[in-house]
Amino acid sequence: MEAYSPLQVIGEGSFGRALLVLCNSNQKKYVVKEIQLPKNSSKLENWRREAILLSRMKHSNIVAFREAFEADDLLCIVMEYCSGGDLLQRIQQQKTTQFSVDDVLKWFAEMCAGAKHIHDKRVLHRDLKSKNIFLTDNGTIKLGDFGSACVLNSSRAYAHSYIWDNKPYNNKSDVWSLGCVLYELCTLRHPFQASSWKSLILKVCRGAYPPLPKHLPYELQYLVKQMFKTNPKDRPSLHTILTSHRVSRLLRSHL
C-alpha cells in the first residue's frame, strides 16, 4: 500500500471497504477495494476470483483494473475511480424529477455494451444493480463489483449451450437484472416492491410490475417486458438487445 496515500473511505461492506487513494507516482486518484482474506483457508482462490475476473475485462464501460496485491491478510484491488458515484445515489438525487429519455437510453446502451463484453468472455456478473454500476465525471457508465462474478470454465465447455441456456444463474439472469436497472432509470423506483418476501417472490415470478409511464418510447416498454419474461429463454440476450431488438436502433444511436 506504500505506493498509494489513502484519502477517504467511499464504501463499506461485508467484504471490507473501498478507499479513495492517491497514487504517489502519478498523482492520480484510484479506488482500492480491500478484501479481508480468511486465515488458513484452502479456498483462497475463491477470494481472489474477483480480482482475477476484473483484470480480464477491458472495456470502456467496465471499471478499469490497475493492479492487485496482497498485504497481510488483505487482498487489495486497485481500480479506476468513478467520481460520479454509483447509479443508486444518482437515482436518489433525482428525488421526483425523471431522467430524460436520452439519458436513460445512453446509460442503458452503455450498460448493455459492458455486460455484453463480460458475457463474451464467458463470465457472469450475477450482481448487476444500480449500486454496483458507477458513473465517471463525464457521465460514462462503468460496471463494477465483480465480487459475485463467476466464470464458465473450459472443462464445462462441451456443455456450453446446455449450461448457458439452463443454469439458474445464467446470462439471462444478468439480463433480468439489467431490466430492473432500466426500469429504475425510467421510473426512479424498483419494479418489484412488496412488504414481505413471499409477496415479492410472487410478483417476480409472475413478472407483475407497475406499467411504465406512457410518454416513454414504445420500444422501451416492449424491451422491459421482454427482459422480465419468467422463462429465461424468452428474454433477449445482450447481443440481441444491441443488434436486432426493436430498441437496438435507438440504443446504437446513443453509443
Going by the annotation, the residues of the binding site are: 33
Q: Which does 207 bind (CB under 5 to 8 A by kind): Mg ion, ligand ADP, none?
A: none
Using CB distances below 5 to 8 A depending on partner kind, what does residue 33 bind out of Mg ion, ligand ADP, none?
Answer: ligand ADP
CA atoms of 85 and 136, how far apart (whole Å): 7
Residue for cell digits 498523482? 27
Q: What are the angstrom distances between the C-alpha of 158 and each of 6, 165, 169, 231?
A: 46, 13, 18, 24
Binding site members for ATP: 33
CA dist 237 and 241 (Å) reads 6
Applying the rule CB under 6 A, the residues between 39 and 98 that interact with ligand ADP are 63, 79-82, 86
Given candidates 1, 11, 173, 239, which one binds ligand ADP under the rule CB under 6 A?
A: 11
Cβ-based nearer residue to ligand ADP, 123 or 251: 123
| Cβ nearer to Mg ion, comparing 123 with 251 | 123
Exposure on the CB side of residue 89, measured as CA atoms within 13 A: 11
Cell of 157: 465447455
Angle at 58 between CA 99 and CA 54, to 5 degrees: 90
Q: By the criterion CB under 5 A, which residues form the site for Mg ion?
A: 132, 145
- To the query of whether residue 234 is one of the catalytic residues in this protein, the response is no
The three-point CA angle 177-179-183 to 5° equals 120
Catalytic residue among 102, 127, 137, 145: 127
Q: What minimum distance in Å lies between the beta carbon of 40 and Mg ion? A: 27
- What is the enclosing helix (H) or strand (E) of 93? helix 87-93
- Closest approach, Cβ 249 to Mg ion, in A, equals 33
CB of 148 to ligand ADP, least distance (A): 8
In the complex with ligand ADP, which residue's Cβ is closer, 36 or 226?
36
From the list 175, 121, 125, the residue with the least C-alpha distance to 145 is 125
Residue 31's binding partner, choosing from Mg ion, ligand ADP, none, with beta-carbon cut-off 5 to 8 A by kind?
ligand ADP
Nearest distance from C-beta of residue 145 to Mg ion, angstroms: 4
Q: Tell me which residues in 106-165 interact with ligand ADP (CB under 6 A).
A: 131-132, 134, 144-145, 147
Task: State whether residue 85 is helix, strand or coil.
Answer: coil
Contact 75, 35 (CB under 8 A): yes
Report the residue number, 132 or 171, with the smaller CB distance to Mg ion: 132
Number of other residues whose CB lies within 10 A of the CB of residue 102: 11
| # residues contacting ligand ADP (CB under 6 A) | 19
How far apart CA 106 and CA 119 sit, in angstroms, is 20
- Of 63 and 251, CB closest to ligand ADP: 63
Pairwise CA distance, residues 219 & 122, whole Å: 28
Tell me the residue nearest to Mg ion as measured from the CB: 145
Which residues belong to the active site?
127
Per CB under 6 A, residues contacting ligand ADP are 10-11, 13, 15, 18, 31, 33, 63, 79-82, 86, 131-132, 134, 144-145, 147
